[in-house]
A and B are shown apart, each in its own frame.
Chain A
Amino acid sequence: MSDRYAQLVRSRPGGMLARRVGLPRPEALERYRAGDPVIRGRVLLGDAPGGELLEALVGALGAARCELATGLDASSPDGDRVRGVVAAAGLDATVFNPEAGGEQRFKGLVFDATGIADSTELVALHAFFHGSVRRVERSGRVIVLGRTQADCESVRQRTAQRALEGFTRSLGKEIGKGATVQLVLVAKGAQQAMDSTLRFLLSPRSAYVSGQVIELSSPATIADDLDGLDWERPLDGRTALVTGASRGIGEAIATALAREGAHVVGLDVPALADELCAVSKRLDGEALELDITAADTPALLAERFAGGLDVVVHNAGVTRDRTLAKMPTERWSELIDINLSSQERVDDALLEAGAIKAGGRIVCVSSMSAVAGNAGQTNYATSKAGVIGRALALAPVLAERGATINAVAPGFIETQMTAAMPIPIREAGRRMSSLSQGGLPIDVAEAIAWFAHPASGAVNGNVVRVCGQNLLGA
């Protein structure tokens, strides 16, 4: 599973060789360790004139204890406006003037672009990022905030706001150094619910997430108990069901949720009982040896969680690759049943029984194949695209209950499955992304922990790829 190429080019001679020949040089990505600050380094904050998120943004970054910097443009009153907001929030912030030279470096760049209402105003992106982008440190974070299309008030505003997507996706491809770039579209009324998303995207938890567009909808209710939220253990006292938890990505998900404080109930087929029990024991959780496709499983789960379930992660899934012409019916049907239909049955049963609590979180694991398509995987991509459909369709239904559903679409993640790939395909999978490397199971798990977060009520009906901005289907 080890990425020998990455190890080679991170050595001095290997790096020199790769640089000469022009080979990709994957950066060693920073990853979250318990107790880490949200972001280790300064965050440069800016906005386009007329932006509406600044106060909320400053509040969220301040609460996350980010060290701030703001641009200083003496010629426009706007530089002072940003500093005025920072000052009013009682925060400190250093000054950045790209024309002044110096050695200033930033771990994060955060830009509120909601004020851009016309294509002519897009130049504000250039003004902010032109002088700052090369000062981004390794594993740096860039976040642009825009408005959801539905909340744009004119054709020109919609045009300009949609344009942001091309900007962030391209910047993600050129920024390098293990840095990531995201666009967060904030609906009107959702600005008070940005905290968990900003923290996730700024932190090393989002190491392998780049080039994504995330929509924050105005949540039906911003849970009242967030005031006393322990950001180190946000899932304390909550119960999470993780299917396919015995190994690989599922095990990482269970581990991450347990780290966040959840009581994790792992589910897997009886054939993997030993592994499942080991995971559950390690996490001080529970094991359910069940076949997710069995007829009585939905009812059993509804009964088991009659007391209320906070988080459901539909991770269990299989591949049964074959080109369609050579694929027998059972290879198709079995996979669709495991990967998609069983999820529908389980959720229906849980929802009917009222087992999903208000503020509950359903997370489905989709795949990059569902977005990009993949030869030999018509069955798999169909099931995983169906998973995305489920997330989109169920989101408004769950929103009424204060609950959410989201899907994560992993790209090339280093697992036993990818280790078994032929070398050329494996290498192509690793390198054909902005980060030039495969992700780790924990990267998928961190994204799921963000979806599952009690403060993520505004994150609903999103499909977020954890793919290092893979070139496929981007």
Chain B
Amino acid sequence: MNARRVAVLGGNRIPFARSNSAYANVSNHDMLTAALAGLVERFALDGELLGEVVAGAVLKHPRDRDLTREAVLSTRLAPQTPAYDIQQACGTGLEAVILVANKIALGQIDVGIAGGVDTTSDAPLALNESLRKLLLEANRTPGTLGRLRLLGRLRPGQIVPEIPRNAEPRTGLSMGEHCAVMASEWGVTRADQDELAARSHQRMADAYERGFFDDLVTPFEGLDRDQNMRADSTPEKLAKLRPVFGGEQGTMTAGNSTPLSDGASAVLLASEEWARERGLPVLAYFSHAQTAAVDHVGNGNGKREGLLMAPAYAMPKMLDRAGLSLDEFDFYEIHEAFAAQVLCTLRAWEDPVFCRERLARDEPLGPIDRERLNVNGGSLAAGHPFAATGGRIVATLAKALHERGSATSPARGVVSVCAAAGQGVVAVMESAGA
């Protein structure tokens, strides 16, 4: 069975908003619907029956069972379009793309949408655990008297809800604290982080100015650009911020870490035949992908690894399979969860010890040309609604590849996304000329 090439035809997202701001009163359902609706409009998918739609959210209300399917029903896609939810922390969006792409490659479907959405404003609050247990017990208890007796055990403290925490269950450390450990272990300086952050803002602002995002972003709730983006950001301004992770000696600030954000994104993927039949140009092909996980807890036989280092492991596996080396890309789209995460990953690939000890390779993967890194800005500028980031990156890279590549000189790009719980997802995309 020969795998088919998977074409990326385009994408759509709503501008990303800072937490408790422009999208404070909209839900995941609203945002995902808006992202899908924009894509439907852009590609004239009214009434189309798609193979499937796959999306997810990291912070999800219990009531949002089948969030994606419900969002599909709120659009003008054919209501017979199947859908399902996935969740792999910040890898959700890219993993959704991989799932849809694989079904297209296998011929199981011809076209699909992958996406993601997250809100930190409309976050789910759970019942206090002891109250929940009490109520469940009351539910099981027969007779009004027995139930009343149980309710007599209610205490004021049980009213306090359980608030979702941005902490790793097995370490108790937040993602930022984990990344601060990595930054220290890899000797990443504050200056390097601030420079990367400033460049992310400047490049994304430039991309907006030249209209790059005109057919990638649909205005929503009064926003037409990513709310977090600061066109006038400079390393000097960022240098004034206080460290927020890693203690007083820390190097990580609110400026070189992504803020909590709200937003949604969607990407349209199809077989070449499907695109040709509809006369839709192929922006890029989605050709390789790899997911990896590390032991960030230290329970295994090996050494404990940094929480966000999994992409460093996923990349060489994928490159080996693709027969590519790290310097053979025109674009590097590395998700900027924290500037330090990007810098640690790049340093690891250059490091002979890491590459020998942890990756079992005789030679380092080597350095990359920093001028090719996140050329249209990254998560530090755009913000990072967890599950929406993968879709943003894939659509952005597809367009950049389409602009750069030609029949005689195809362009190639690579995506790297780190995720909570010690996971990472990477992928290769190539321009249509390839």
CB-CB under 8 A from B184, the residues of chain A are 100-104
User: Chain A 73-108, CB within 8 Å of chain B: the 1/0 string?
Assistant: 000000010011011101111111101111110000
A72 within 8 A of B: yes
Contact between B352 and A87 (Cβ–Cβ < 8 Å)? yes
- Of the candidates A80, A94, A97, A102, the one whose C-beta lies within 8 Å of that of B352 is A80
Known: A100-B251, A104-B184. A91 touches B357 (CB 8 A): yes
Known: A84-B352, A87-B352, A101-B249. A92 touches B357 (CB 8 A): yes
CB-CB under 8 A from B178, the residues of chain A are none
Contact between B246 and A102 (Cβ–Cβ < 8 Å)? yes
Contact between A101 and B251 (Cβ–Cβ < 8 Å)? yes
What is the distance, in angstroms, from A423's C-beta to the closest C-beta of chain B? 44
Contact between B352 and A95 (Cβ–Cβ < 8 Å)? no
CB-CB under 8 A from B246, the residues of chain A are 101-103
CB-CB under 8 A from B249, the residues of chain A are 101-103
- Of the candidates A83, A92, A97, the one whose C-beta lies within 8 Å of that of B303 is A92
- Of the candidates B187, B188, B303, B357, the one whose C-beta lies within 8 Å of that of A87 is B357
Contact between B357 and A102 (Cβ–Cβ < 8 Å)? no
Residue of B183, B188, B246 with most chain A CB atoms under a 10 A cut-off: B188
Distance of A100 Cα from B191 Cα, bound (Å) = 9
Of chain A, the residue at the smallest CB distance from B363 is: A87
Contact between A95 and B303 (Cβ–Cβ < 8 Å)? no
Residue of A87, A94, A95, A100 with most chain B CB atoms under a 10 A cut-off: A100
Contact between A101 and B353 (Cβ–Cβ < 8 Å)? no
Contact between B353 and A83 (Cβ–Cβ < 8 Å)? yes
CB-CB under 8 A from A97, the residues of chain B are 186-189
Contact between B352 and A99 (Cβ–Cβ < 8 Å)? no
- Of the candidates B185, B189, B247, the one whose C-beta lies within 8 Å of that of A99 is B189
B351 within 8 A of A: yes
Of chain B, the residue at the smallest CB distance from A68 is: B353
Distance of A70 Cα from B185 Cα, bound (Å) = 11
Contact between A95 and B185 (Cβ–Cβ < 8 Å)? yes
User: Chain B 168-211, CB within 8 Å of chain A: the 1/0 string?
Assistant: 00000000000010011111111100000000000000000000
Contact between B186 and A95 (Cβ–Cβ < 8 Å)? yes
Distance of A99 Cα from B183 Cα, bound (Å) = 12
Contact between A100 and B189 (Cβ–Cβ < 8 Å)? yes
- Of the candidates A90, A92, A100, A103, the one whose C-beta lies within 8 Å of that of B187 is A100
CB-CB under 8 A from A88, the residues of chain B are 352, 356
B355 within 8 A of A: yes
Known: A87-B353, A91-B357. A101 touches B303 (CB 8 A): no
CB-CB under 8 A from B190, the residues of chain A are 100-101
B433 within 8 A of A: no
Contact between A100 and B183 (Cβ–Cβ < 8 Å)? yes
CB-CB under 8 A from B356, the residues of chain A are 87-88, 90
What is the distance, in angstroms, from A202's C-beta to the closest C-beta of chain B? 20
What is the distance, in angstroms, from A83's C-beta to the closest C-beta of chain B? 5
Contact between B251 and A87 (Cβ–Cβ < 8 Å)? no
Bin the interface of chain B by size. Answer: 20 to 34
Distance of A84 Cα from B362 Cα, bound (Å) = 10
The B328-374 residues at the A interface (CB cut-off 8 A) are 347, 350-353, 355-358
What is the distance, in angstroms, from B360's C-beta to the closest C-beta of chain A? 10
User: Chain B 16-27, CB within 8 Å of chain A: the 1/0 string?
Assistant: 000000000000
CB-CB under 8 A from A92, the residues of chain B are 303, 353, 357-358
- How many A-B residue contacts, CB cutoff 8 Å? 72
What is the distance, in angstroms, from B53's C-beta to the closest C-beta of chain A? 44
The A11-59 residues at the B interface (CB cut-off 8 A) are none
CB-CB under 8 A from A70, the residues of chain B are 353
B250 within 8 A of A: yes
Distance of A70 Cα from B354 Cα, bound (Å) = 12
What is the distance, in angstroms, from A320's C-beta to the closest C-beta of chain B? 58
The B236-262 residues at the A interface (CB cut-off 8 A) are 246-247, 249-251
- Of the candidates A83, A84, A87, A94, the one whose C-beta lies within 8 Å of that of B185 is A94
Contact between A83 and B352 (Cβ–Cβ < 8 Å)? yes
CB-CB under 8 A from A72, the residues of chain B are 186-187, 347
CB-CB under 8 A from B250, the residues of chain A are 101-102
CB-CB under 8 A from A100, the residues of chain B are 183-184, 186-190, 251
CB-CB under 8 A from B303, the residues of chain A are 92
CB-CB under 8 A from A96, the residues of chain B are 187
Of chain B, the residue at the smallest CB distance from A95 is: B187
What is the distance, in angstroms, from A197's C-beta to the closest C-beta of chain B? 25
CB-CB under 8 A from B352, the residues of chain A are 80, 83-84, 86-88
What is the distance, in angstroms, from A79's C-beta to the closest C-beta of chain B? 9
Distance of A193 Cα from B249 Cα, bound (Å) = 41
Known: A87-B356, A93-B353. A103 touches B189 (CB 8 A): no
Distance of A160 Cα from B412 Cα, bound (Å) = 53
Of chain B, the residue at the smallest CB distance from A73 is: B187
Contact between A83 and B189 (Cβ–Cβ < 8 Å)? no
Distance of A80 Cα from B188 Cα, bound (Å) = 15
CB-CB under 8 A from A91, the residues of chain B are 353, 357
Known: A92-B357, A97-B188, A102-B184. A83 touches B351 (CB 8 A): yes
Distance of A103 Cα from B251 Cα, bound (Å) = 11
Distance of A87 Cα from B358 Cα, bound (Å) = 10
Residue of A86, A97, A101 with most chain B CB atoms under a 10 A cut-off: A101
CB-CB under 8 A from A99, the residues of chain B are 187, 189, 191
What is the distance, in angstroms, from A67's C-beta to the closest C-beta of chain B? 10
User: Chain B 115-128, CB within 8 Å of chain A: the 1/0 string?
Assistant: 00000000000000
Of chain B, the residue at the smallest CB distance from A90 is: B356
Distance of A80 Cα from B356 Cα, bound (Å) = 13
Of chain B, the residue at the smallest CB distance from A81 is: B352
What is the distance, in angstroms, from B338's C-beta to the closest C-beta of chain A? 14
Distance of A238 Cα from B350 Cα, bound (Å) = 49
What is the distance, in angstroms, from A87's C-beta to the closest C-beta of chain B? 4
What is the distance, in angstroms, from A76's C-beta to the closest C-beta of chain B? 14
What is the distance, in angstroms, from B253's C-beta to the closest C-beta of chain A? 12
What is the distance, in angstroms, from A32's C-beta to the closest C-beta of chain B? 26
Distance of A97 Cα from B353 Cα, bound (Å) = 16
Distance of A93 Cα from B303 Cα, bound (Å) = 12
What is the distance, in angstroms, from B363's C-beta to the closest C-beta of chain A? 10
Distance of A87 Cα from B355 Cα, bound (Å) = 8
Distance of A94 Cα from B181 Cα, bound (Å) = 12
CB-CB under 8 A from B188, the residues of chain A are 97, 100
What is the distance, in angstroms, from A147's C-beta to the closest C-beta of chain B? 27
User: Chain A 363-383, CB within 8 Å of chain B: the 1/0 string?
Assistant: 000000000000000000000
What is the distance, in angstroms, from A359's C-beta to the closest C-beta of chain B? 36
Distance of A83 Cα from B185 Cα, bound (Å) = 14
CB-CB under 8 A from B187, the residues of chain A are 72, 95-97, 99-100, 102
CB-CB under 8 A from A86, the residues of chain B are 352-353
CB-CB under 8 A from A103, the residues of chain B are 184, 246-247, 249
The A390-424 residues at the B interface (CB cut-off 8 A) are none
Of chain A, the residue at the smallest CB distance from B186 is: A95
Distance of A99 Cα from B246 Cα, bound (Å) = 14
User: Chain A 345-368, CB within 8 Å of chain B: the 1/0 string?
Assistant: 000000000000000000000000
Distance of A102 Cα from B182 Cα, bound (Å) = 10
Distance of A101 Cα from B340 Cα, bound (Å) = 13
- Of the candidates A87, A90, A93, A102, the one whose C-beta lies within 8 Å of that of B183 is A102
What is the distance, in angstroms, from B257's C-beta to the closest C-beta of chain A? 15
Distance of A97 Cα from B187 Cα, bound (Å) = 4
CB-CB under 8 A from B183, the residues of chain A are 100, 102
What is the distance, in angstroms, from B371's C-beta to the closest C-beta of chain A? 17
Would you list 14 pairs from A and B whose C-beta atoms are within 8 A, ordered by A residue? A72-B186, A72-B347, A80-B352, A86-B352, A87-B352, A87-B356, A87-B357, A92-B357, A92-B358, A97-B187, A99-B189, A100-B187, A100-B188, A102-B183
Beyond A83-B351, A87-B353, A100-B251, list 11 extra A-B contacts (CB 8 Å): A70-B353, A80-B352, A87-B355, A87-B357, A88-B356, A97-B187, A100-B184, A100-B186, A103-B246, A103-B247, A104-B184
Q: Which 7 A-B pairs have the closest CB atoms?
A: A97-B187, A102-B184, A87-B352, A87-B356, A101-B249, A100-B187, A95-B187
Q: Interface residues, chain A, CB within 8 Å of chain B? A: 70, 72, 80, 83-84, 86-88, 90-97, 99-104
